[in-house]
Amino acid sequence: MKALREKIQEALISALPITAIVYIMSFTPWFDFSKAELITFTVGAVLLILGIGFFNLGADLAMTPMGTQVGSGLSKQRRLGLLLGVCFVLGVLITVAEPDLQVLAKQVAEVMNGTALIVTVGVGVGLFLLVAVLRIVFKKTLSELLSIFYMLLFAASLILAVQGKTELLPVAFDSGGVTTGPITVPFIMALGVGVANVLGDRRSKDNSFGLVALCSVGPILAVMVLGLFSKGDMTYTVPDYTVSSEIFDAYLHTALHTAKEVTIALGLIVVFFLICQFTFLKLSAKKLKKIAIGVIFTFIGLILFLTGVNVGFMPIGYKLGYSLGALPSVALIIFGVCMGVLVVLAEPAIHVLTVQVEEVTGGLITKRSMIFGLCIGVGAAIGLAMLRIVFDFSIVYYVIPGYFLSLLLSLFVPRVYTAIAFDSGGVASGPMTSGFILPFAVGACVAINGADAVLRDAFGVVAVVAMTPLITIQLLGFKAIITSHIKERRAMQRILDADDKQIINFM
């Protein structure tokens, strides 16, 4: 209970800024929030804070230990076929069950078969999880693999553009963010740590990161390949973001629906873990009890968090965007930057990532510096996304130069920074981005360009959010190198000065 209180206090500090800014805006003449909307948002904020607290504690007790134990247990078997087979099945199962992917499938169902999309994306994640594990086994450089696969992405983008399917590109790049959600990220990251600890070398801390990065590439390629063979025009209908006057019924209905989705997602992971337990893990009853308690906390946290976001934050996000769309464009862009900085603090998986990074790197990369880099990156991302809505241009003008710059930076920074940066991109684009920022972008787009432009201009915001941390985190690494060189030169200069003084004194 003490640990839970500490987690909830941390969540309160994280969620308070974005909650406060909504209340402040409600007192300005540009935002006309009804009493029902403010009450719904308040309840959603409370659920979000409790949800983050429960989830973070559950991740510490269950998701991270489960992933680490499975990764190390499989690696100790020294059977590569078993390791790859289990990782592929794991990648497919947890991706198919990811709630954010279900939302994406429903939104493009008029063009693509929803079931086919989900299965294709699941296979894509499974295959790239194999690639990620093989990278650790054969000790390959992450930047080299990412360069190859992003070149394939750019080539596929050009083919889609030639076919006149450019409106599919934002959806494809968004899919890379939604598939690495709060359920899969802790497990996959811990799996990498477990495999690297057993099969890695002296660079095991570098190799333990990068699984999320590679697993984010698979869905993008999968959707692009599926789009190459799809027929028809991309259409999108703006959802009804009206707040229900029956607040209790709205929350109860959403909570029950969310509980069903989370039960399926966590259930697949738990069943998979139990199979591993009975076959080769053989963990003690004490450890299993701790993991079971952690699963319960994770289950409760995800239901509270997702319910609060879907009911309380999505309508407010849409109305904020729509209202700002009627103001000068500068106000929309500046507000977007501020929202990006605040929203990333409320992403539940961000806290899991930063803690794991600080532990694995032995404090070399602190939680504070990671959060600072992510805030700057995501803030810039939302500002750029609003700029794209205002001037109505393709997302390729962001993603191609952005990923080229990211890959270029990977040649000059320590490998651990590159791996962490690309992992951070997938983690930063979590449910708060799809549940609050995406409706915000949709509202702004409807106000400025109309509903017909939503698929072209509003979608892609998740992709930009996933891209900018790649640059900012690697810039932190570049800064660390320069700082280290400066300190070394100063230390050397002090030694030389001391030697000169000794010579002079001797003479």
pLDDT tens digit sequence for 434-485: 778 888 999 999 999 998 888 888 888 888 988 888 888 888 878 777 877 7
Distance CA(478)–CA(305), nearest Å, equals 36
Average per-residue pLDDT for the chain = 82
pLDDT tens digit sequence for 104-150: 666 555 556 667 777 888 888 889 988 888 888 887 888 888 889 98
Helix boundaries (H) for 27-113: 35-58, 64-76, 80-96, 99-107
SS3 label, residue 139: coil
How long is the chain?
A: 507
Per-residue pLDDT for 496 more than 80? no
Higher pLDDT, 414 or 308: 308
Q: At what angle do helices 247-276 and 64-76 cross, to 10 degrees?
A: 20
- Yes or no: say if 470 and 406 are a contact pair by the CB < 8 Å rule: yes
Which is nearest to 182 in space by CA: 11, 7, 353?
353
Predicted TM-score (pTM) of this structure: 0.82
CA 303 from chain centre, in angstroms, equals: 18
pLDDT tens digit sequence for 10-31: 788 777 888 888 888 888 888 8
Instruction: Write out the two tokens for 166.
Output: 């450019």
Distance CA(89)–CA(95), nearest Å, equals 10
What HEC string does 323-351 produce?
A: HHHCCCHHHHHHHHHHHHHHHHHHCHHHH
Mean pLDDT of 323-352: 85
Q: DSSP assignment, residue 113?
A: -
| pLDDT for 357 | 75
pLDDT tens digit sequence for 384-414: 999 999 999 888 889 889 988 988 888 888 8
String of DSSP letters for 357-382 = HHHHTTTSS-HHHHHHHHHHHHHHHH
pLDDT tens digit sequence for 249-287: 999 999 998 898 888 878 888 888 898 888 888 889 999
| pLDDT for 503 | 58
Helix boundaries (H) for 229-364: 247-276, 285-307, 314-325, 329-343, 348-360
Confidence class for position 229, pLDDT limits 50, 70, 90: confident
| pLDDT for 108 | 58
